[in-house]
Amino acid sequence: MIGGLLLVLVTVLVATLRVSPDLIVVMALVIIVLVFVSGAMVSRGAYVVRLSADGYRVRFVRGAGVKQARWSDVADAVTTEVAGSPCVVLRLKDGRSTTIPVEVMAGDREEFVRELRTHLGRGGTSR
């Protein structure tokens, strides 16, 4: 939005001050580069599922249910399909659950399942 406003401002300046229209093209290119650079910086720290020694955290998944919990709160993990997509469901001891669609993960799905089993085994839960 700021880039668009800046481009409009440069266009108005070019029109009123009779400066070369090439300035508009240069400004547009600078804005495009800035959009891509900022997008890369934001997505570098993005993750869908983070597994740690203490528990897990899910982000950017609408309808995931419980977004984070400790491994000691997990009763078990099952695989299922939700709307035709394969998912891992972490069922918590209090009856709530977390649904993780494996298709949204950028990494290897088998490695995710192995790591998940490792964490569940350490947490004293069944699989």
Structure token pair of residue 33: 């580069």
| pLDDT of 125 | 46
Backbone φ, ψ for residue 78 (5° rounding): -135, 160
| pLDDT of 123 | 61
The Cβ-side half-sphere exposure at 112, using a 13 Å CA radius, reads 18
**Domain boundaries in the chain?**
2-44, 49-122
**Structural class in CATH, domain 49-122:** mainly beta
pLDDT in tens, 92-119: 999 999 999 888 777 788 888 888 888 8
Burial 48-57 (b: 16+ CB within 10 A, else e): bbebeeebbe
The Cβ-side half-sphere exposure at 95, using a 13 Å CA radius, reads 0
Q: 0.85 exceeded by the pTM?
A: no
pLDDT in tens, 43-88: 666 678 888 999 999 988 888 899 999 999 999 999 889 888 888 9
The answer, yes or no, to whether residue 41 has pLDDT greater than 90, is no
